[in-house]
C-alpha cells in the first residue's frame, strides 16, 4: 500500500478521554475512530489487525475440529425467554421492538441462538460431538465503556459452542479448546496466563480465563511462585489459617482484651479508625452488610482484607447478592455504615475463617460515633458460620501446593473457556437420542475470545514512548519501506523496486512514498508500529546500502541494495515462522502436548 494513496490519518493529539496506551495509539495511529461511547469505526489499518487476529483464530479452531457459522445480531426475545435470561440479563442487553411490536435484542452472546440452531437439526448421538463458532459483532450496553477497544459496547467476539453426549466427552472438548486458545494467544505474540475463574451458578472447576499480563489490566490475578496454580482473585482459594488472624499482640501491638466502648467521633473507615485509635488495621474487624436473596446478612473480615463476594454467596447458598444500600444497612442494624458492628446483631453473621478464635479485636459499636475494643468473637458475637470469605492476595500461602506463595498480577481477559453442562440445553430441550433410544440434554461448553480486545491487549504489552511495536503475526503490515527523499529519482526508483519486489513475493508492505520530511515519516512509522522498517535514503544509496531497523531495536543496520528483496523476505519468513512455532510449546492442559 502506498501511503500517499492510503486512508491512514495519524494524529498528534491524544483523545481527551484516553486512559490507556492502546487507546491513545489506536486513535493517533489512525486505526480506529470513535462514533459514540464504546462504539468505533475501524479504519483500514485497524481492520487489517482485526483480520490478522481473526485469521489466526480461524486457523486454530478449524485445526481443533470446530466449524465456522454466522448467527444474526438481531435475536427474537422468545429464545431468551425460553432460557430465562430475558428477565435476568439486565440493562447490558440492548432490547428493541420491530415494526410489528415484537421484542428483540442485539445478541451480547449467542447460547440461545446456537441451541436453537443445533436442536432443530440434530437428534441422534451419531450427530455428536459438534463444535461451532462464529466471529461477529456483539453489543453489550456496558455501564462504563472505556479504554477504547478494551471495553467497548459494540465489539468483535469469537464465540464457540460445543455439544456432546456426555460429561466425559464434553470435558475432552473443553481441554481441546483450552489448547487451541494457548496456541492462538502464543501465535499472537502475547504473554498470558490461563487462570481458574468463577463458574457462577454452574459450579465445578472448569472455567479458565486467558489473561494477558499488563499493568493496565482490570482483573487481579494471583499465581503461585512454586506450582501451576493461578486464579482470578475473585475465585482464588485461600489456604486455611493456622492461627487466629487477630490476637492481642499481633503485629507487636498490645491491644485491649476486655470489651469496652470508646468514642470515635466521625471515624468511619478502617484507615480513620486505625489512625484514631492507634491500632493496626489487622486488629480491626470489618462488618459489611449484604442483601442475599432479599434478606440482610452481615459478613466479617479482618480490617486489612477485602471481602470475596463470590465466596460469600457460596457460603450463604444465595443466588443473588449485593452490598446493602445505606438505607438497607440502617433498616437491618439500626445504625449507619461505618459504625455497624457484629456485637448484638440479630441478622445472620458470616465470619471469615481467619477470625475463628479472634480476641482483642476492634469493631463498630452498633451506635453512631463509637467503636468497641477488646471484642472476643467467641464470647461476644453469635456467628452463624465461619467460611473462607476474604479475597486472596499477594504473599498468601498457596492452598494447592502449600509450599509456594502467591504473587499478584494485573490481567486483561482476552478469552474465556467455560463448561456449561446442561444449563441451556435442558431448559431449551436441546436433546439427543442415545443408542438405547433414551433422550438426554446435550452437554455443552462455550468459549469466547474478544478479538478487538486482543488488539488492545497486544498494544498494552508491546509499545514504547513513540508508538506500537506489533508482533509481526498481527501487525497491519510486515514491512514499511520509506523513501526518505520523495523528490530524488534514484531514491524513489530504489524504494519502488523494493516495494514492488517484496509485494510480488507476498510480503505485506506499507510504502511511505509521501512528499514529506524524513522526521515526520519516521515518527508515523514508529507510531503505527510495523515491525520491520527499511529506509531508502540518498546518502547510503550512493554506497549501495539501505537502512534496516526492527521496530523494537534502537539502531538500524545497513544492508546491500543488491539482494535486499530476498534478504528482507527471508527475515519476514523467519519471524513469522518463529511466532508460529511458539504454538507448539507444551500445553498446561491435562494430557500435555499441543
Ligand atoms: P468482562 O469481565 O471483561 O466484562 P465477560 O466475562 O463479560 O468479560 P465473556 O462474556 O466471557 O466476557 O466474553 C468473552 C470475551 O469477550 C471476553 O473474554 C473478552 O475478551 C471479550 N469481551 C467481553 N466484554 C467486552 C467488551 N465490553 N469489550 C471488548 N471485549 C469484551
Ligand atoms: Mg462483561
User: Could you tell me if 531 and 475 are in contact, meaning their C-beta atoms sit under 8 angstroms apart?
Assistant: yes
Expressed in angstroms and rounded, the spacing between residue 92 Cα and the centre of ligand 2 is: 9
Domain ranges within the chain, ordered by starting residue: 15-72+105-236+408-460, 250-387, 477-581
Q: How far is the CA of 223 from the centre of ligand 1 (A)?
A: 21
The count of C-alpha atoms lying within 13 angstroms of the C-alpha of 341, restricted to the half-sphere facing its C-beta, is 25
Question: What average pLDDT does this structure show over 223-237?
Answer: 86
- Residue 535: the pLDDT is 97
Q: What is the pTM of this model?
A: 0.86
Cα distance between residue 306 and residue 323, in whole Å: 13
Residue 533: is its pLDDT beyond 90? yes
Q: Whose CA is nearest to atom 23 of ligand 1?
A: 450
pLDDT band of residue 200 (cuts 50, 70, 90) is low
Q: Which of 193, 417, 418, 453 to mutate to test the pocket of ligand 1 (most atoms within 8 A of CB)?
A: 453
- pLDDT on residue 254: 61
How far apart, in Å, are the Cα atoms of 563 and each of 438, 489, 504? 69, 20, 14
Place of cell 509499545: 463
Q: Which atom of ligand 1 is nearest to the CA of 448?
A: 14
From ligand 1's centre to the CA of 450, what distance in Å? Answer: 6
pLDDT at 18: 86
Nearest ligand, CA 153:
1
Task: Give the pLDDT confidence score for residue 89 in this predicted structure.
Answer: 87
Query: For residue 474, what is the enclosing H or E element?
Result: none
Average pLDDT, the chain: 93
Residue 201 pLDDT: 56
**Nearest protein Cα to ligand 1, atom 11:** 416
Number of the ligand 1 atom closest to the C-alpha atom of 415? 18
Phi and psi dihedrals of 53, rounded to 5? -65, -45
CATH number for 250-387: choose from 3.40.50.300, 3.90.960.10, 3.40.50.12780, 3.40.710.10.
3.90.960.10
Cβ proximity of 438 and 125 under 8 Å: no
Report the 10 Å Cβ neighbour count for 49: 27
Task: Write down the architecture of domain 477-581 according to CATH.
Answer: 3-Layer(aba) Sandwich (3.40)
Give, for ligand 1, the residue of 161, 416, 418 to mutate: max count of ligand atoms closer than 8 Å to Cβ. Answer: 416
- Residues 239-295 have pLDDT tens digits of 888 777 787 766 555 677 788 899 999 998 999 999 999 999 999 999 999 999 999
At 594 the pLDDT is 45
How does pLDDT run across 427-438, given as a tens digit for each residue?
999 999 999 999
* Ligand number nearest to the C-alpha of 142: 1
Residue 503, CB-side half-sphere exposure with 13 Å CA sphere: 13
- Report the atom number in ligand 1 closest to the C-alpha of 140: 27
In contact, 111 and 46? CB cutoff 8 Å: no
Q: What region, left, alpha or beta, does residue 437 occupy, with left being phi > 0 and alpha being psi -120 to 50 degrees?
A: left
pLDDT band at residue 476 using 50, 70 and 90 as cut-offs = very high
Q: At what angle do helices 564-582 and 489-504 cross, to 10 degrees?
A: 40
DSSP string, 231-297: EETTT---PPPSS-S--TTGGG-----S-EEEE-TT--SHHHHHHHHT--GGGBEEEEEEEETTEEE
Share of the chain above pLDDT 90, in %: 79
pLDDT digits (tens, 9 = 90+) for 326-356: 999 999 999 888 889 999 999 999 999 999 9
CATH of 15-72+105-236+408-460, one of 3.30.930.10, 3.40.50.300, 3.20.20.60, 2.40.50.100: 3.30.930.10
Find the residues whose C-beta lies inside 6 A of ligand 1. Answer: 109, 140, 142, 151-152, 155, 157, 413-416, 448, 450, 452-453
HEC-encoded secondary structure of 312-348: HHHHHCCCCEEECCHHHHHHHHCCCCCCCCCCCCCCC
Residue 407 Cα to ligand 1 midpoint, Å, equals 24
Residue 151 alpha carbon, nearest atom of ligand 1: 28
- Is the pLDDT reported for residue 134 higher than 50? yes
Contacts of 126 by beta carbon, 8 Å cutoff, 6+ apart: none
pLDDT per residue as tens digits for the range 60-72: 999 999 999 999 9
Q: Which atom of ligand 1 lies at the shortest distance from residue 454's CA?
A: 20
Amino acid at each position: 500500500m502506498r501511503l500517499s494513496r492510503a486512508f491512514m490519518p495519524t494524529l498528534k493529539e491524544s483523545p481527551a478521554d484516553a486512559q490507556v496506551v492502546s487507546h491513545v495509539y489506536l486513535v493517533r495511529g489512525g486505526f480506529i475512530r470513535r462514533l459514540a461511547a464504546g462504539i468505533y469505526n475501524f479504519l483500514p489499518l485497524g481492520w487489517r489487525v482485526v483480520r490478522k487476529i481473526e485469521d489466526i483464530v480461524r486457523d486454530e479452531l478449524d485445526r481443533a475440529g470446530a466449524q465456522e457459522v454466522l448467527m444474526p445480531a438481531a435475536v427474537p426475545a422468545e429464545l431468551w425467554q425460553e432460557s430465562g435470561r430475558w428477565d435476568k440479563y439486565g440493562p447490558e442487553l440492548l432490547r428493541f421492538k420491530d415494526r410489528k411490536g415484537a421484542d428483540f435484542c442485539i445478541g451480547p452472546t449467542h447460547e440461545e441462538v446456537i441451541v436453537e440452531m443445533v436442536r432443530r437439526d440434530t437428534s441422534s448421538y451419531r450427530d455428536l460431538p459438534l463444535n461451532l463458532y462464529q466471529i461477529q459483532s456483539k453489543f453489550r450496553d456496558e455501564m462504563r465503556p472505556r479504554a477504547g477497544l478494551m471495553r467497548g459496547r459494540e465489539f468483535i467476539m469469537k464465540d464457540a459452542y460445543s455439544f456432546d453426549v456426555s460429561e466425559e466427552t464434553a470435558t475432552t472438548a473443553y481441554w481441546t479448546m483450552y489448547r487451541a486458545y494457548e496456541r492462538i494467544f502464543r501465535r499472537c505474540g502475547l504473554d498470558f496466563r490461563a487462570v481458574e475463574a468463577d463458574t457462577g451458578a454452574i459450579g465445578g472447576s472448569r472455567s479458565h480465563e486467558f489473561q494477558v499480563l499488563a499493568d493496565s489490566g482490570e482483573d487481579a490475578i494471583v499465581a503461585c511462585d512454586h506450582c501451576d496454580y493461578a486464579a482470578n482473585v475473585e475465585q482464588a482459594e485461600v489456604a486455611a489459617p493456622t492461627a487466629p488472624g487477630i490476637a492481642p499482640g499481633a503485629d507487636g501491638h498490645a491491644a485491649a482484651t476486655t470489651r469496652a466502648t470508646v468514642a470515635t467521633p466521625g471515624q468511619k473507615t478502617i484507615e480513620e479508625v486505625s489512625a484514631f485509635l492507634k491500632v493496626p488495621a489487622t486488629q480491626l474487624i470489618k462488618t459489611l452488610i449484604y442483601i442475599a436473596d432479599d434478606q440482610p446478612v452481615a459478613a466479617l473480615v479482618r480490617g486489612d482484607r477485602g471481602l470475596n463476594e463470590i465466596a460469600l454467596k457460596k457460603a450463604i447458598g444465595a443466588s443473588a447478592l449485593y452490598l446493602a444500600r445505606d438505607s438497607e444497612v440502617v433498616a437491618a442494624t439500626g445504625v449507619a455504615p461505618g459504625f455497624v458492628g457484629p456485637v448484638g446483631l440479630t441478622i445472620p453473621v458470616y465470619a471469615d475463617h481467619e477470625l475463628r478464635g479472634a480476641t482483642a479485636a476492634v469493631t463498630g459499636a452498633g451506635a453512631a460515633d463509637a467503636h468497641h475494643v477488646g471484642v472476643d468473637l467467641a464470647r461476644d458475637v453469635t456467628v452463624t458460620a465461619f467460611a473462607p470469605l476474604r479475597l486472596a492476595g499477594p504473599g498468601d500461602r498457596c492452598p494447592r501446593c502449600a509450599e509456594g506463595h502467591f504473587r499478584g498480577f494485573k490481567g486483561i481477559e482476552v478469552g474465556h473457556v467455560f463448561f456449561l453442562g446442561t444449563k441451556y440445553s435442558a431448559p431449551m430441550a436441546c436433546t439427543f437420542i442415545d443408542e438405547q433410544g433414551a433422550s438426554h440434554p446435550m452437554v455443552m461448553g462455550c468459549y469466547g475470545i474478544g478479538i478487538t480486545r486482543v488488539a488492545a491487549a497486544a498494544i498494552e504489552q508491546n509499545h514504547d514512548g513513540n508508538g506500537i511495536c506489533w508482533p509481526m503475526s498481527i501487525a497491519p503490515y510486515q514491512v514499511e519501506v520509506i523513501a526518505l527523499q520523495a523528490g530524488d529519482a534514484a531514491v524513489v526508483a530504489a524504494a519502488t523496486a523494493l516495494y514492488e519486489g517484496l509485494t510480488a513475493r507476498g510480503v505485506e508492505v506499507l510504502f511511505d512514498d509521501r512528499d514529506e520530511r524524513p522526521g515526520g515519516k519516521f515518527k508515523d512509522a514508529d507510531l503505527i508500529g510495523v515491525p520491520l522498517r527499511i529506509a531508502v535514503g540518498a546518502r547510503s544509496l550512493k554506497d549501495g546500502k539501505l537502512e534496516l531497523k526492527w521496530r523494537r531495536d534502537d539502531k538500524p543496520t545497513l544492508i546491500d541494495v543488491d539482494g535486499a528483496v530476498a534478504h528482507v523476505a527471508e527475515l519476514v519468513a523467519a519471524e513469522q515462522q518463529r511466532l508460529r512455532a511458539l504454538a507448539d510449546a507444551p500445553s498446561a492442559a491435562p494430557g500435555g502436548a499441543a
